[in-house]
Amino acid sequence: MANVSLTSAATHKCWTFNPISRAAFPNSFAFRFSQPRRATIIMSTSSKTTVLVTGAGGRTGQIVYKKLKERVDQYTARGLVRTPESKESIGGEDDVYVGDVRDADSIVPAIQGIDALIILTSAVPKIKPGFDFSQGGRPEFYFEEGTFPEQVDWIGQKNQIDAAIAAGVKQIVLVGSMGGTNLNHPLNSLGNGNILVWKRKAEQYLADSGIPYTIIRAGGLQDKDGGIRELLVGKDDELLETETKTIARADVAETCIQALSFEEAKFKAFDLASKPEGSGTPTKDFKALFSQATSRF
Ligand SMILES: NC(=O)c1ccc[n+]([C@@H]2O[C@H](COP(=O)([O-])OP(=O)(O)OC[C@H]3O[C@@H](n4cnc5c(N)ncnc54)[C@H](OP(=O)(O)O)[C@@H]3O)[C@@H](O)[C@H]2O)c1
């Protein structure tokens, strides 16, 4: 009886049951039957989902990381940050990996063994030195050499997607930005970076990859409390024509995590904003929210 099933094994009177140390199989419950023929069966009883959030030192990324850590019964959290300083800034725990998304090899350890990936890295423009805020007006921006959106938002996100696919990751959530349908959007001229163009290219790459994905194109991000506004799903930048085109980073973070729980979020791309606090009903039903999104891209 070379290929005995668990059912027949369990009903076979001669078989004995010996627990094996849990330490040897973290997250697993392993057991061994012996006699009349020795067979080893290892069953994972861990229903926890291991999730890596990249850009975990960023303003939205660190909220996602914190929320995942708080939901310890459901998730095993990991973070990826660019520098040891960022790692320290979010607590410095062993589940925070240091890597640069432009360097494909450097992110492999963080991605190995995860179930889901939440991408929250982004090129970040800097204000040109010498700008005097007290004089008013608009500052000029630039990207440092090697940190242009082409390198971070295109190559860096492609590297993450490729590494996740190679590691057998089951779902990728990618946070992008509204505005991508308009080549002349002012964000594209920021530091001559064409940031929305490169973000969109990475989004397309993900949508074409075949892996279950959720692309969340956020409106203007605000550092406000989450969970107290009605969230709005849109497409093709239509929300930009309305009065409701901003969203709290905390709400984006929550939406990223909720996307891991609902089939309705998979193979979808949508814009995300919120009604102002006090108007509308705060969103609690994320299944219904994701059901409103109908576009694959
Ligand atoms: N600002 C808005 O109003 C707005 C609107 C819509 C959408 N969005 C998008 O929403 C997302 C979240 O925005 P946010 O403001 O919360 O982000 P953020 O604070 O700017 O964080 C971006 C993160 O990316 C990391 N990063 C940059 N280059 C990296 C590299 N080469 N390797 C690894 N990590 C790297 C940064 O790490 P370091 O801290 O080490 O540099 C930083 O933690 C971004 O994609 C953003 O473009 C923003």
pLDDT of residue 104: 98
* Cα-to-centroid distance, 57 and ligand 1 (Å): 9
Do 104 and 19 lie in a common domain?
no
Do 262 and 146 lie in a common domain?
yes
For residue 62 and ligand 1, the question of a CB distance below 6 A is answered with no
- Say whether pLDDT at 23 is over 50: no
Do 36 and 57 lie in a common domain?
no
pLDDT digits (tens, 9 = 90+) for 207-252: 999 999 999 999 999 999 999 999 999 999 999 999 999 999 999 9
Domain range enclosing 12: 6-43
For residue 103 and ligand 1, the question of a CB distance below 6 A is answered with no
Q: Are strands 49-54 and 75-81 parallel, antiparallel or unpaired?
A: parallel
Do 10 and 93 lie in a common domain?
no
Pick the residue whose CA is nearest to atom 8 on ligand 1. 177
Do 165 and 32 lie in a common domain?
no
For residue 156 and ligand 1, the question of a CB distance below 6 A is answered with yes
pLDDT digits (tens, 9 = 90+) for 77-135: 999 999 999 999 999 999 999 999 999 999 999 999 999 999 999 999 999 998 888 88
pLDDT digits (tens, 9 = 90+) for 147-179: 999 999 999 999 999 999 999 999 999 999 999
pLDDT digits (tens, 9 = 90+) for 31-64: 333 334 444 444 545 689 999 999 999 999 999 9
For residue 63 and ligand 1, the question of a CB distance below 6 A is answered with no
* Cα-to-centroid distance, 266 and ligand 1 (Å): 23
- Domain CATH code at residue 89: 3.40.50.720
